[in-house]
Structure 1
Amino acid sequence: MKNHKKILLTLLLIGTLSTYGQNLPSLLTEKNINSTFSILAYDENAKEWGIAVATNNIYVGNSTIYIEPELGAFSVIAETEPKYATQGFENLKKGKSIKQAITEVKNGDSQANYRQVSGIDAKGNVFAFTGKSLKYWNGKASQILGTNYVVMGNQLADEVLSSMSSTFENSKGTLAERLLKSLIAGQNAGGQISGKQSAAVVVKGANNEWYNQIDLRVDNSKNPVEELQTLMNYHYGRIRLNQALYAKREGNLERAKQKLTEAESMLNGWTGMYSKIAGANIAVGNENSAVNWIKKGLAENSNWKTNLPAFYFLRDNLELKSIIKPDSFSVKDWESAIGMLSNLGQELEVIKLAEELIDKNIESSYLNFLIGRSYFYEKETDKAIKHLEKALKMDSENIEAQMLLDKIRIN
């Protein structure tokens, strides 16, 4: 009976080889396999290192991307193995070349023939290898090394890597944008012949600013690369929106409107940003556009109505007067209303409204902080101190009130 079971198991295994031959290492070793394509690159002007990757497996960004700013980066695909990164970084720290860093790990790896690894050092020098067994998998397995970048992949349509390479070399924008353009080009050229399921792009910069520390992932989707583009649009759209508000504060209305228009096209679908977009439109004088974004938020998200009190100042607008109801405002709602007025630089309106509320015994620690801040902006220091002290009396943990009060007293 035992011999019969062994024979049956052998026959079943052999029967799977024609269909799943490329996945045999994972079936035998129980390791994760990522039949994948990726691009790894360095932007010497921005001093950023980045990797974009896509696959027909789930959460590809989890086991294929390794970056240490000012040291280098590694992309490990096919039969993944983290030691190419962990030991590779140690080798780079010892002053070894990127080729040496990878080759030393490869020489001690009994399954190197099932792997694809690319690496780049702090100066943009690159190296990569494609395991010899990958040529037996379905599709194309190869790599292209360029100036400051590597594209590689397996189980690919024929033109994937060449499309990725040419697109990256000829594209403009930030490193993250160029990486994603390359990934999209690879997908449009046929991508993996076995399908698509996840994608990721990670960029880290030497200056450690939040806007160039990008980690975007789509872990399980029918259209992962397209969804990754949406996430990147959201990332840069938020930056454009902040740029619009900054330009307005600096008195550059033309630039503010330009950046706001760019932001609107990139943030469509992210309902959490609609309130800020509406506020920015008010700031540049586009009340009709602000109203449209408010209506859009309400139509796309039933919970968006919690943002309505912030637009108290639009209570007389014909399209909004029936849904903005100050008589039912809570203290938190009034805080939102006054906070938006302050964000728009309407400090005198803040003072007027807040004083009216206080006369009606509608107040809180945060309301007193907001009115105190507005008095501070209007250079009425004594009144600012009065309300900030009251804010702290109502809530001794109001850190914003304490910080502003300390600033006033120091000056």
Structure 2
Amino acid sequence: MIRKLLSLFILGFSTLYGLGQNLPSLLLGKNINSTFSILAYDKESQEWGIAVATNNIYVGNSTIYIQPGLGAFSVIAETEPEYAKNGFEQLKLGEKIEQAIQYTMKRDSSSNFRQVSGIDAKGNVYAFTGASLKYWKGKSTHLLGEAYVVMGNQLNDSVLSAMSESYKKAKGTLAERLLKSLIAGQRAGGQISGKQSAALVVKGTKQDWYNQIDLRVDHSKSPFEDLQRLLNYHYGRIRINQALSMLRNGNRQHGKQLLATAIPMVEGWDGLYTKVVQAEILAGEEDKAADFIKKAMKENAEWKENLSAFFMLSGRKDLSVFFEAFRFSEKDWYNAVRGLIQINKNEEALKLAARMIQKYPASSYLYYLSGEAFLNLGDLPNARLSYMKALELDPENEEAKKALR
């Protein structure tokens, strides 16, 4: 009896004074997370997106649900995936977004502990904040805007208004605007209990899979900065690929301009430095390419495995310390030949391939690469002969098969 009275006293105390997340979680056995999010639809790009942050781990695991062409749901506080599962089914049946959310809410005995927002295929929005969240410490509410919703719990007072204003004024892609809004909320005070994880997901009907965004920072002391870095990496990689395409096609001016904007965006991602080096060589900036190789080797000693792709720079004195210590295997020579092809040095690639074929006469792949170089030079007969020789040596060389189709 005493234990029961004590539990009731503690529960009443937490309700009256809003002790926040942890005590209700312990007493009620519920997965209560102090969280804030923004959900939005971009009509022009036909994208749906959600950005969310919390003071718990892996916030993106159970708060973000998007089906391009149908809509999106964000479920926070005490999360419950059924809101999204049932919500999408209701939208498929033609129900409005309000009814799609209320369908589960009416059947949910714990709806008073939840916050749910939703948006349909046309940008119509709806949200609710559970009645019990008003007893939690901090501010718990939501704001509806034109094709967007911001909501959160255990927040400082001006967080949601800051997020809303930021989103309305922001420029850029939907992902960029969502993240700007989330960061604005944090700068306005964020959650009273701190920060630990953040996530950003954007999906659209017009996107290829590799352009869709699903970025998560599951545990960090600086989740907002880390999420911004990941988004920079995403767009930086796209820009570098575009710059490479321009440079390979002879558009040096625009390629160099795009490359200059992309390089700062991928700072620290040494896995992408190989493409940066290729682009600098194509741009006629061999010194900058060499500097990036030195930078990569300083940041990650294992980057030496990429050196073979830049065999054409092995004669430089400032890189000799790296190349002299490197022992080329047969597959490294493949990379060396391919590296020359990728920077439009096809004649040099053929010379190197011919040398390596003398050393590795049974190499199907060297003949395939020779075919690629001949093809780039417009020598179709020799390209075909090289591909056929590659298949003769290895009937399972799929790349050679495709080249001959």
Superposition TM-score, scaled by structure 2 size:
0.94
Answering whether residue 162 of structure 2 is matched by residue 163 of structure 1, we say: yes
Q: 1:45 to 1:11 in 2, by over 3 A?
A: closer
Q: 1:82 to 1:168 in 2, by over 3 A?
A: same
The answer to whether the 8 A contact 1:38-1:53 is kept is yes
The answer to whether the 8 A contact 1:26-1:79 is kept is no
1:371 corresponds in structure 2 to 370
The unaligned stretches of length 5 or more in structure 1 are 407-411
The answer to whether the 8 A contact 2:164-2:181 is kept is yes
2:218 corresponds in structure 1 to 219
1:232 corresponds in structure 2 to 231
1:390 corresponds in structure 2 to 389
The answer to whether the 8 A contact 1:124-1:149 is kept is yes
The answer to whether the 8 A contact 2:37-2:52 is kept is yes
1:254 corresponds in structure 2 to 253
2:307 corresponds in structure 1 to 308
Give the letter aligned to residue 341 of structure 2.
Answer: S
Could you tell me how far 1:342 is from its partner in structure 2?
Answer: 0.6
Q: 1:180 to 1:122 in 2, by over 3 A?
A: same
2:398 corresponds in structure 1 to 399
1:334 corresponds in structure 2 to 333
Answering whether residue 325 of structure 2 is matched by residue 298 of structure 1, we say: no
The answer to whether the 8 A contact 2:113-2:132 is kept is yes
Give the letter aligned to residue 262 of structure 1.
Answer: T
2:83 corresponds in structure 1 to 84
The unaligned stretches of length 5 or more in structure 2 are none
Q: Which moved more, 1:359-368 or 1:170-179?
A: 359-368
Could you tell me how far 1:23 is from its partner in structure 2?
Answer: 4.5
Could you tell me how far 1:287 is from its partner in structure 2?
Answer: 0.8
Q: 1:360 to 1:112 in 2, by over 3 A?
A: closer
Q: 1:107 to 1:8 in 2, by over 3 A?
A: closer
The answer to whether the 8 A contact 1:39-1:183 is kept is yes
Give the letter aligned to residue 248 of structure 1.
Answer: L
Q: In the TM superposition, what whole-angstrom CA distance separates every residue of 1:289-335 from its partner, at most 9, and x where no partner exists? A: 11111001000001011111111101111201232149831111111
**What is the DSSP-based 3-state SS (H/G/I as helix, E as strand, rest coil) of the residue aligned with 1:39?**
strand
The answer to whether the 8 A contact 2:314-2:323 is kept is yes
Q: 1:212 to 1:49 in 2, by over 3 A?
A: farther
Could you tell me how far 1:261 is from its partner in structure 2?
Answer: 0.8
The answer to whether the 8 A contact 2:11-2:24 is kept is no
**What is the DSSP-based 3-state SS (H/G/I as helix, E as strand, rest coil) of the residue aligned with 1:323?**
helix
The answer to whether the 8 A contact 1:22-1:136 is kept is no
2:318 corresponds in structure 1 to 319
Q: 1:21 to 1:304 in 2, by over 3 A?
A: closer
Could you tell me how far 1:348 is from its partner in structure 2?
Answer: 1.0
- In the alignment, the residues of structure 2 paired with residue 292 and residue 276 of structure 1 have an alpha-carbon distance, to the nearest angstrom, of 14
Q: Following superposition of structure 1 onto structure 2, how do residues 80-229 of structure 1 map, counting pairs within 5 Å? A: 80-229=79-228
Could you tell me how far 1:395 is from its partner in structure 2?
Answer: 2.3
2:46 corresponds in structure 1 to 47
2:282 corresponds in structure 1 to 283
- In the alignment, the residues of structure 2 paired with residue 158 and residue 327 of structure 1 have an alpha-carbon distance, to the nearest angstrom, of 59
Give the letter aligned to residue 375 of structure 1.
Answer: F
- In the alignment, the residues of structure 1 paired with residue 376 and residue 20 of structure 2 have an alpha-carbon distance, to the nearest angstrom, of 70
2:29 corresponds in structure 1 to 30
- In the alignment, the residues of structure 1 paired with residue 387 and residue 399 of structure 2 have an alpha-carbon distance, to the nearest angstrom, of 9
- In the alignment, the residues of structure 1 paired with residue 83 and residue 23 of structure 2 have an alpha-carbon distance, to the nearest angstrom, of 21
Q: Which moved more, 1:61-70 or 1:14-23?
A: 14-23
**What is the DSSP-based 3-state SS (H/G/I as helix, E as strand, rest coil) of the residue aligned with 1:328?**
coil
- In the alignment, the residues of structure 2 paired with residue 33 and residue 284 of structure 1 have an alpha-carbon distance, to the nearest angstrom, of 53
- In the alignment, the residues of structure 1 paired with residue 138 and residue 13 of structure 2 have an alpha-carbon distance, to the nearest angstrom, of 20
- In the alignment, the residues of structure 1 paired with residue 107 and residue 345 of structure 2 have an alpha-carbon distance, to the nearest angstrom, of 67
RMSD, matched Cα: 2.1
Q: 1:68 to 1:133 in 2, by over 3 A?
A: same
- In the alignment, the residues of structure 2 paired with residue 249 and residue 54 of structure 1 have an alpha-carbon distance, to the nearest angstrom, of 41
1:409 corresponds in structure 2 to none
Q: 1:59 to 1:11 in 2, by over 3 A?
A: same
Aligned-pair identity in percent equals 57
Q: Which moved more, 1:20-29 or 1:48-57?
A: 20-29
1:343 corresponds in structure 2 to 342
Answering whether residue 270 of structure 2 is matched by residue 263 of structure 1, we say: no
Give the letter aligned to residue 383 of structure 2.
Answer: A
Give the letter aligned to residue 335 of structure 2.
Answer: S
Give the letter aligned to residue 297 of structure 1.
Answer: A
**What is the DSSP-based 3-state SS (H/G/I as helix, E as strand, rest coil) of the residue aligned with 1:108?**
coil
Q: 1:238 to 1:152 in 2, by over 3 A?
A: same
Q: Which moved more, 1:325-334 or 1:373-382?
A: 325-334
**What is the DSSP-based 3-state SS (H/G/I as helix, E as strand, rest coil) of the residue aligned with 1:321?**
helix
- In the alignment, the residues of structure 1 paired with residue 123 and residue 7 of structure 2 have an alpha-carbon distance, to the nearest angstrom, of 49
Q: 1:21 to 1:53 in 2, by over 3 A?
A: closer
